[in-house]
């Protein structure tokens, strides 16, 4: 019985074997390095403008545009860095370094000296005519840079302490207030400027003028980036930034990355960049008088708007914290630095770039072995069943029908006796051709066969088929075959 049950189980579970076998084989995809695609990204290891001559006294037009792009970028959004060239959907680069421009912002509010209220008419010339007779404060830094204003007059004044036009190349170390002489940022500095501002614009409830000041320093640095393209989307991570200076040379300054690789900046070629930045970042901003102020410049309007109109529609910095006003300066100068870095990197692009690998998706066959356990159990049960049958057959001593070709032929062969009863002329016919019955002569043998019943009986020479004929009187006679 148990043999029969196990056979039934094997049979029933075999229905499940097809879906389970399919579940055992999966075709997942993975990323493989693809040979022919290109993955490059611009990087630069030097800043040099061999085309600059005494007759060609203008900053590279692409650098000007990059600075302006950073200046007018919405202050809440970081300017995108250099974009990679990736002909596939997936590209990866090893961490790589590039010469870059960085911006440092330092708070120097404690260096400010605030005067008693001054009658604006007494200092006059520079101020808007509308401020005549208005009381202002003079907030000044040790280097002489000052803001004449207050929350309801002039809110910001920015300028540099050095005259850009007389500069030779790098920023003189002494011009910095907050960055110390030993700071490597100052040694590689391009330009600096100072921003003196009120921490808010006036509204009826907050009239107190509180002055703040920051120093902004643009300097060369070596940025280390980690870039990847995944499903077409670029991800750029600034890993770290180095300002370590190598040995100073006559004509160039060498910066070193953390991995000791060297980046050079041609001293003389910094001059035009330095002059441009210094002259750009100057001007005043007034929330109330707007563009009517005599010293309002495009750059000071952009910076003032970023600082004091941070919240859409709020009108004043009401609702903005003092921290937001300071962060806006950092955000704007960071975007200018990113723009400049992009132009330096793309200028070097035809010769210097970081090469990455492109990846393409490829599918492979994966076999989940646990899912095959079911099949293994099924096979084991089948083997068990076969062994069981063999053992049982041996135990019961079941005789085996032998035949040269087919055991069936031997089984179905008629005995000589049965053949004799069917009639001599019909020897060998076992089953009449039913489909052609109507056309075939209705012989005695066919008639007899139609009424015959066949059964198997175990004789001394093995299993034999034997016929029992219905003789027409309802009584069957049987003939055993010897
Ligand atoms: C790469 O390009 C070469 C020649 O252009 C071609 O023979 C090869 O099949 C390409 N390989 C792949 C992976 O596309
Ligand atoms: C500064 O930039 C960051 C994004 O880099 C942004 O989340 C933040 O809001 C900006 N802050 C201001 C005051 O614009
Ligand atoms: C400022 O001076 C002008 C004339 O020079 C005078 O008319 C005005 O009242 C003064 N304002 C204040 C606040 O003292
Ligand atoms: C802004 O600074 C410049 C240069 O330092 C100065 O000439 C000008 O009077 C200042 N303007 C105001 C409104 O403080
Ligand atoms: C800067 O990044 C590089 C690359 O990941 C790393 O080797 C180096 O140690 C980092 N340096 C610092 C100071 O984080
Ligand atoms: C400006 O500073 C004053 C004094 O510290 C403070 O009361 C005020 O809240 C500040 N304004 C903003 C917008 O933070």
> What confidence score (pLDDT) does residue 170 get?
72
Ligand 2 centroid, distance to 222 Cα (angstroms): 23
Ligand 3 centroid, distance to 137 Cα (angstroms): 14
**Least distant ligand from the CA of 293:** 4
The verdict on the CB of residue 224 being under 6 Å from ligand 5 is yes
> What confidence score (pLDDT) does residue 320 get?
62
Angle (CA) 218 138 103, round 5°: 10
Q: What is the signed CA dihedral for 53, 57, 63, 64, rounded to 10 degrees?
A: -170
**Least distant ligand from the CA of 33:** 1
pLDDT, the chain, mean: 79
Q: Which of 109, 203, 210, 307 to mutate to test the pocket of ligand 6 (most atoms within 8 A of CB)?
A: 210
Longest CA–CA separation in the chain, Å: 151
The verdict on the CB of residue 128 being under 6 Å from ligand 6 is no
**pTM for the complete prediction?**
0.72
Ligand 3 centroid, distance to 294 Cα (angstroms): 21
477 with 469: CB under 8 angstroms?
Answer: yes
Nearest ligand 3 atom, CA 117: 13
At 313, the pLDDT band (50, 70, 90 cuts) reads very low
Least confident of 58-72, 223-237, 346-360: 346-360
Q: Which of 98, 221, 224 to mutate to test the pocket of ligand 5 (most atoms within 8 A of CB)?
A: 224
Residues of the chain with pLDDT > 90, as a percent, come to: 24
Ligand 3 centroid, distance to 199 Cα (angstroms): 26
Who wins on pLDDT, 391 or 433? 391
Mind listing the pLDDT tens digit for each residue in 16-46? Answer: 777 777 788 888 887 777 777 788 899 998 8
Mind listing the pLDDT tens digit for each residue in 393-448? Answer: 888 876 665 555 555 665 566 676 776 776 655 544 445 555 555 554 556 666 66
150 with 156: CB under 8 angstroms?
Answer: no
Nearest ligand 1 atom, CA 36: 1
> What confidence score (pLDDT) does residue 314 get?
41
> What confidence score (pLDDT) does residue 71 get?
94
**Least distant ligand from the CA of 362:** 1
**Does pLDDT of 226 surpass 80?**
yes
> What confidence score (pLDDT) does residue 224 get?
93
Q: Which of 115, 136, 143, 148 to mutate to test the pocket of ligand 4 (most atoms within 8 A of CB)?
A: 148
Mind listing the pLDDT tens digit for each residue in 94-132? Answer: 999 999 999 999 999 999 999 888 887 777 545 666 666
> What confidence score (pLDDT) does residue 19 get?
77
Task: Report, as an integer, the average pLDDT of 241-257.
Answer: 79
> What confidence score (pLDDT) does residue 352 get?
80
**Does pLDDT of 206 surpass 60?**
no
> What confidence score (pLDDT) does residue 323 get?
83
- The torsion angles phi and psi of 156, rounded to 5 degrees, stand at -155, 140
Other beta carbons less than 10 A from residue 315's beta carbon: 13
Instruction: Write the Ramachandran bin of 30: left for phi over 0, alpha for psi from -120 to 50, otherwise beta.
Output: beta
């Amino acid at each position: 019985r148990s043999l029969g049950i196990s056979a039934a189980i094997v049979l029933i579970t075999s229905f499940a074997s097809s879906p389970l076998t399919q579940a055992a084989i999966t075709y997942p995809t993975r990323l493989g390095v693809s040979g022919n695609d290109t993955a490059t990204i611009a990087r630069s290891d030097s800043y040099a403008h061999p085309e600059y001559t005494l007759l060609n006294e203008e900053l590279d037009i692409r650098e000007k545009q990059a600075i302006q792009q950073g200046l007018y970028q919405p202050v809440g959004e970081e300017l995108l860095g250099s974009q990679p060239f990736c002909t596939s959907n997936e590209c990866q680069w090893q961490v790589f370094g590039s010469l870059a421009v960085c911006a440092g912002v330092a708070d120097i509010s404690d260096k400010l000296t605030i005067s008693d209220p001054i009658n604006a008419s007494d200092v006059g010339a520079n101020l808007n005519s509308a401020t005549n007779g208005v009381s202002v404060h003079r907030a000044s830094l040790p280097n002489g840079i000052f803001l004449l204003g207050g929350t309801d007059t002039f809110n910001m004044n920015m300028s540099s302490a050095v005259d850009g036009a007389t500069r030779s190349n790098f920023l003189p170390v002494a011009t910095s207030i907050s960055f110390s002489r030993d700071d490597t940022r100052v040694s590689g500095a391009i330009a600096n400027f100072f921003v003196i501002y009120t921490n808010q614009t006036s509204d009826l409830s907050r009239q107190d003028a509180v002055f703040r000041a920051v120093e902004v320093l643009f300097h060369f640095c070596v940025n280390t980036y980690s870039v990847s393209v995944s499903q077409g989307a670029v991800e750029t991570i600034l890993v770290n930034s180095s300002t370590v200076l190598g040995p100073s040379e006559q004509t160039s300054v060498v910066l070193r990355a953390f991995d000791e690789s060297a980046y050079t900046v041609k001293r003389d070629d910094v001059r035009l960049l330095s002059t441009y930045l210094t002259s750009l970042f100057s001007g005043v901003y007034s929330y109330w008088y707007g563009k009517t102020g005599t010293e309002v410049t495009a750059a000071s309007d952009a910076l003032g708007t970023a600082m004091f109109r941070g919240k859409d529609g709020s009108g004043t910095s009401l609702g903005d914290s003092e921290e937001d006003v300071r962060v806006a300066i950092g955000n704007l100068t960071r975007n200018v630095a990113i723009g400049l870095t992009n132009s330096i990197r793309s200028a070097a692009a035809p010769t210097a770039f970081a090469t990455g690998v492109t990846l393409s998706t490829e599918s492979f066959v994966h076999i989940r072995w646990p899912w095959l356990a079911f099949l293994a159990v099924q096979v084991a049960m089948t083997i068990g069943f076969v062994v069981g049958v063999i053992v049982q057959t041996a135990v019961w001593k079941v005789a085996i029908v032998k035949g040269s070709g087919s055991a069936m032929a031997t089984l179905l062969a008629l005995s000589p006796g049965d053949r004799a009863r069917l009639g001599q002329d019909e020897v060998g016919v076992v089953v009449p051709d039913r489909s052609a019955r109507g056309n075939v002569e209705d012989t005695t043998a066919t008639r007899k066969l139609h009424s015959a019943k066949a059964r198997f009986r175990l004789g001394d020479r093995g299993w034999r088929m034997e016929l029992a004929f219905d003789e027409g009187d309802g009584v069957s006679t049987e003939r055993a075959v010897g």
